Amino acid sequence: MKLKKKTRLIKKTSKTFLLTGLVLAVLSSIALYFYTKGLLQDQEEESLYSTEARVVNALKNDQTVLSFPPVTEIKKVQHIRPEILKDTIIYDPSQDEMEEFRELSTYKKINGQTYQITVRYLVVESKDILIAIVFSNIAIFVLAFLFLFYFNTTKNIKLWSPFFKNLEQMKKFSLSSNEELQLVDSDVLEFSELKEEILLLTSKVRNDYEKLKQFTEDVSHEMQTPLAIIQAKIDNIINDHSINDKQFSQVSSIQKDIQRLKHLNHRITLLTKIDNNQFIRVEEVNITKLLEEKIENFKELEIDYISLSSKNDLIASMDVYLADILINNLISNAIKHSSQEKNISIISENKTLIISNYGQKALQHPEMLFLRFYREVNSMQSSGLGLAIVKKICDLYNFDLSYNFSENQHSFTVVFK
């Protein structure tokens, strides 16, 4: 599904309001324009006909009617033609320019003589009136709308303020912190209800989360004792003389599995402890020094392909124990995925740590990399928690953790604060 573009509530209502205003102003202006135009035209025609009637009357009474071009013209013609009503542009000597006129030409036979009577009406005047009316309409609309818009927006902001405040609070909501949400109440029933529901929901979520956390901790804790019993019994079995080589190798492999379970348990407990904020001691940790020690340690495991380049010491403020785990898990991860080409490079600079190892191709799902129990390759050695712990530690201290793949190198970058 494609995500729709999100607009702010206030912006959206304002937009609707302004758009409606614009459409209304345009439509009403158009309607007004045509209506007024029609009215004016009727008026002009009426006046043209009445002038014409007066001229006809005067001619009938044998009075001499003078022509006043361009307003009235009387010509004697041979034939009667149909009456014409049209707009025309002719020269107006009084204004000394071309002007637009409404013109009525009629042909009448009066006392045996055919006349062409042309009466004209200067349109400019009615056009000016029309424009004035439409413009004032638009002006009134715009002013009214601007006022209403301002009034509405301020009112909306005030009305929705409890909603926005509570929304900000909810954004700050974190399962791991025990801080209560400071929600504001409102005299709007729906907002008040929303507030109650949010409080109910968050307390339930927190409660469930606590229970789940406690459960996980208890389970991993409770598992240690049975594991210890199995382990101890196996240690006694291999010291028993009545087993053979095959049995010994099978029993030894059980020891390996117990070891795996033990590590898994340690990691789960560690995650829970970080969640429970049990690491509150923060001190200046020399990450570069720690890296050097780690690399030395790994050499004892015949892992001697880690290179460190560092210009100056990288110092981070965090718990020493967590710093150790962070570094250890990142390097361990690189080691575990270094079966093809054994070369791990570590760069520590100012506040940035980059650990890279060789890889043939990019990960298929890099976005899932830091999830618990996600494994890109199904490896026996991996607990699936190492990187989740790294992420958790980085989150705890707001360190920036990122992964990228380029030039056949998987790189993890931590920006310390």
Partner 1 sequence: MKYLIAEDEIDLQQSIVTYLERDGNLCEVASNFDDASEKVALYDYDVIILDINLISGSGLEILKAIKKEKKNVGVIIISANNSLKDKLEGLDLGADDYITKPFHLAELNARINAVLRRGKYGGDELIEFNELKIDTRSRTAYMDGNALALTKKEFDLLVFFVSNKGRVLSKEIIAEHLWGDDSDLLDNFDFIYVHINNLRKKLTSEGAKYIKTAYGSGYKFIAD
Contact footprint for partner 1 (CB under 8 A): 221-222, 224-225, 227-233, 235-236, 238-239, 243-245, 248-249, 251-252, 255-256, 258-260, 262-263, 265-266, 269, 273, 278, 297-298, 300-303, 321, 328, 332, 335-336, 339, 381
Least distance in angstroms from the C-beta of 305 to partner 1: 13
Strand ranges in 111-149 using DSSP code E only, listed in sequence order? 113-122
Partners of residue 285 on adjacent β-strands: 316
Nearer residue to partner 1 within complex by CB, 181 or 234 = 234
Nearer residue to partner 1 within complex by CB, 70 or 386 = 386
Q: How far apart are CA 289 and CA 127, in angstroms?
A: 89
Nearer residue to partner 1 within complex by CB, 37 or 336 = 336
Question: Dihedrals φ, ψ of 84, to 5°?
Answer: -125, 130
Least distance in angstroms from the C-beta of 225 to partner 1: 5
Structure tokens at 330: 């990142």
Least distance in angstroms from the C-beta of 196 to partner 1: 39
Task: Kindly compute the dihedral angle of the four CA atoms of residues 378, 381, 386, 387, in this order, to the nearest 10 degrees.
Answer: -30
Nearer residue to partner 1 within complex by CB, 227 or 315 = 227
Asked if 335 contacts 344 with a C-beta cutoff of 8 angstroms, the reply is yes
What end-to-end distance do the CA atoms of the chain give, in Å? Answer: 37
**Burial profile 27-63: b = 16 or more Cβ within 10 angstroms, e = fewer:** eebeebeeebbeebbeebeeebeebbeebbeebeeee
SS3 state of residue 352: strand
Q: How far is CA 365 from the centre of its chain?
A: 24
Nearer residue to partner 1 within complex by CB, 179 or 302 = 302
Least distance in angstroms from the C-beta of 240 to partner 1: 9
Closest CA to 105 of 124, 121, 82: 82
Nearer residue to partner 1 within complex by CB, 137 or 328 = 328
Least distance in angstroms from the C-beta of 227 to partner 1: 4
Nearer residue to partner 1 within complex by CB, 159 or 228 = 228
Pairing between β-strand 352-358 and β-strand 400-406 as defined by DSSP bridges: unpaired
Nearer residue to partner 1 within complex by CB, 224 or 343 = 224
Least distance in angstroms from the C-beta of 246 to partner 1: 9
Place of tokens 């720690």: 290
Asked if 405 contacts 411 with a C-beta cutoff of 8 angstroms, the reply is yes
CA distances from 326 to 105, 265, 391 (A): 100, 17, 9
For residue 104, give the DSSP letter.
E
Q: How far apart are CA 181 and CA 202, in angstroms?
A: 9
Least distance in angstroms from the C-beta of 187 to partner 1: 50
For residue 368, give the DSSP letter.
G
Nearer residue to partner 1 within complex by CB, 256 or 365 = 256
Least distance in angstroms from the C-beta of 359 to partner 1: 17
Place of tokens 């390759």: 377
Least distance in angstroms from the C-beta of 177 to partner 1: 21
Nearer residue to partner 1 within complex by CB, 287 or 385 = 385
Partners of residue 409 on adjacent β-strands: 358, 406
Least distance in angstroms from the C-beta of 266 to partner 1: 6
